[in-house]
Amino acid sequence: MRRVLSWTVLLSLLPLLAAVCDPAGEPARLVLPVVVDGRGVTAFRNAEGYDIDLSACRVAIRDLEFTIAGETHAGLDERLRRLLVPVARAHPGHYAGGEVTGELPGRFIVDFFSGADGALGDGTLLEGDYHGLNFSFRAADAADGIETTDPLLGHTAWLAGTARRGTDTWAFDAVLDIDEGTKMVGGPFTLALRAGMSPTLVLRLLAFDPSTEEETLFDGIDFATLDADGDGVVAIQPGDAAHNILRRRLQVHDHWWLDVRR
């Protein structure tokens, strides 16, 4: 009886399967170059009144995902599985209100002060209206080809620069640890992608939160307080309160942006 019922259900679904599997309804699959903007981060003033000028910023990340609003067709095997085998998680991801329909897998060290675009690779995206970017943080290691003396080795991010307030100047160096696999979800990315288009996607780090144009990456960091010995040099390390403030700001979407260059 159960087998007869199963076949009855399957036969009733055949017209739906035919419509879903119609190649004419498939969205185009596009391959787009993805680069990191290596022209630096604009100087800015934080909430504590320090004029901050970064000279280095490198971050270890992996597995970029591009998200779209609404639903799209999936592969044939996945569509059949969803129709015939009920599962708790019916979609591959719904981050920041969108479904993941594009990706650039791999391990990357993004350098925002290289002086030029840094190629990350070619992302594969289905056509549609994109609204978000996700990726995961990780720790840099020897497999990244960096020297044993590199300050990024074993850590997630390294930032360096100067901070000025009045006539006083501090040189600072910050090494940040973010838990392996922590995701940055929902970085702004706006693109109505259609067949035949070939834009370049450009990953940027912004000093200001673009949603407020006020909050900065270094809000909450008071360099004078951190310079206990008064030598004008500040080192921010894992375990420091300043490290935790900076880490929290870096790991959320507020300061990440994916531009579209046509």
pLDDT in tens, 121-160: 999 999 999 999 999 999 999 999 999 999 999 999 999 9
How far apart are the C-alpha atoms of 84 and 100, rounded to whole Å? 22
| Count of domains observed in the chain | 1
pLDDT digits (tens, 9 = 90+) for 7-43: 444 444 444 444 444 455 688 999 999 999 999 999 9
Which pLDDT does position 24 carry in this prediction? 56
Which of 12-26, 50-64, 244-258 bottoms out in mean pLDDT, i.e. has the lowest?
12-26
Q: For residue 74, is pLDDT > 80? A: no
14 part of a folded domain: no
Domain membership flag for residue 240 = yes
- For residue 3, tell me if it sits in a domain: no
What is the pLDDT, as a whole number, of residue 248? 96
**Does residue 13 lie in a domain region?**
no
pLDDT at residue 227 is higher than 90: yes
> Percent of the chain beyond pLDDT 70?
80
Whether 78 maps to a domain, the answer reads no
Structural domain including 255 reads 28-73+92-261
Q: What is the mean pLDDT of the chain?
A: 85
More confident position, 90 or 175:
175
Provide the whole-model pTM. 0.81
Query: Is residue 88 predicted with pLDDT exceeding 90?
Result: no
Lowest mean pLDDT: which of 90-104, 155-169, 234-248?
A: 90-104
Q: What is the mean pLDDT of residues 189-208?
A: 97
- Token output for 199: 């834009």
Residue 137 included in any domain = yes
8 is a domain residue: no
pLDDT(211) > 90: no
In a domain, 18, yes or no: no
Q: Which residue has the higher pLDDT, 26 or 60?
A: 60
